[in-house]
Amino acid sequence: MKRIEGTVPDLLPVLARGKHKSPRSGACFMEFASHLSGEAWSDHPACTHPVLASLARMVNDCTSDGARSRLMTLIPSVIGLRGDDQRVRLVVALRAATAGLPVVSADHQRALAVGILNCQRHLSRATESTTIDVSGQVRDAFDRSPQTERWAREFMGSVGSWSRTRFTDRTAESIIRISVQGIAEACISDTDERLYYLLAAAIDDCTRVLGTPKGEPVSMPEPLAPEAARRALRV
């Protein structure tokens, strides 16, 4: 693959849970992104919208050790996805909530169902000129949990003034946390697949809102083989 000067590390970090001091001790998804983008080593780099970065960190930490390396293919796609469009936090939170609703526990389902309706309402009121149609995404999620939808609509109707409060990055991150952790704890056999496709879909959503990042794309170098990675971490 073509290497971009200054963006490809001499030593490829190994994806692992949590925060790391340097590439030699491993990297979470966003630390790897900071390294590829040429920024200072950080799990909160400026190259990615903070809400999308929060989702990436949570997916990284909740994915199993055996499947985490697959996430590396998504890292170049988040570099340059940043901007002030208020819809970003909404589409990422909505994607997480609709992905988690069918499989999380009953208590978490109610929280996510309210989150879905809240995201949908705020998206319909967004001031940006381009309207985002999420009706199909919302309908598909609620078709899998109709009783929860009824409860959530009744709840939202009883607290109408609350639903008009500001939707902040913190609000979005709360929804994301409930969803990702709920998927990770669910009694299902395809947890890693669901987490991977959640992050991939959220990246696509953000690209539709923000546009494809300008500049030459960052290429993902070939990862180290398992034994080479273990040796690198022992250095």
pLDDT by residue (tens digit) across 93-113? 999 999 999 999 998 999 999
Range scoring the smallest mean pLDDT among 69-78, 115-124, 153-162: 153-162
- Answering whether pTM is above 0.75, one says yes
Residues 95 and 201 in one domain: yes
Domain count, the chain: 2
The answer on 190 and 108 residing in a single domain is yes
Helical segments of 15-105, H only: 29-37, 50-62, 75-78, 87-100
For residue 231, the model assigns a pLDDT of 52
Question: What is the mean pLDDT of the segment spanning 44-70?
Answer: 96
Least-confidence region, from 6-10, 38-42, 64-68: 6-10
Whether 2 has a pLDDT exceeding 60, the answer reads no
Q: 72 and 124 share a domain?
A: no
pLDDT class of 57 with cuts at 50, 70, 90:
very high
Q: Are residues 67 and 117 in the same domain?
A: no
With a CB cutoff of 8 Å and minimum separation 6, the contacts of 119 are 90, 91, 93, 94, 97, 134, 167, 175
- What is the residue type of 16? A
Has residue 224 got a pLDDT over 70?
A: no
Domain of 127 in residue numbering reads as 89-206
Instruction: Indicate whether 66 and 150 sit together in one domain.
Output: no
When comparing pLDDT for 99 and 231, which is higher? Answer: 99
Region 202-215: mean pLDDT is 91
**Does 223 or 21 have the greater pLDDT score?**
21
Categorize the per-residue pLDDT at 218 as very low, low, confident or very high, splitting at 50, 70 and 90: low
Domain shared by 65 and 122, yes or no: no
Residue 195 placed within a domain: yes
Residue 10 belongs to some domain of the structure: no
Please indicate, yes or no, if residue 15 is contained in any of the structural domains: no
Q: How many CB atoms lie within 10 A of CB 22?
A: 12
Are 202 and 220 in the same domain?
Answer: no
Domain presence at residue 16: no
pLDDT of residue 227: 54
Give the pLDDT confidence score for residue 201 in this predicted structure: 98
Mind listing the pLDDT tens digit for each residue in 118-155? Answer: 999 999 988 666 778 999 999 999 999 999 999 999 99
In-domain check, residue 2: no
Residues 108 and 75 both lie in one domain: no
Q: What are phi and psi of 222, to 5 degrees?
A: -65, 135
Q: What percent of the chain has pLDDT over 70?
A: 83
**Same domain as 52, residue 154:** no
Do residues 50 and 140 both lie within one domain?
A: no
Among 33-42, 117-126, 210-219, name the one with the lowest average pLDDT.
Answer: 210-219
Rounded to whole angstroms, the Cα distance separating 218 from 210 reads 17
Domain membership of residue 5 (yes or no) is no
Residue 7: inside a domain: no
Same domain, 99 and 189: yes
The pLDDT assigned to 160 comes to 66
DSSP conformational letter for 81: -
Whether 50 maps to a domain, the answer reads yes
86 vs 131: which has the higher pLDDT: 86
- 120 and 201 share one domain: yes
Q: What does the alpha-carbon distance between residue 189 and residue 103 come to, in Å, rounded to a whole number? A: 11
Q: Let me know the angle formed at the C-alpha of 114 by 143 and 105, rounded to the nearest 5 degrees.
A: 70
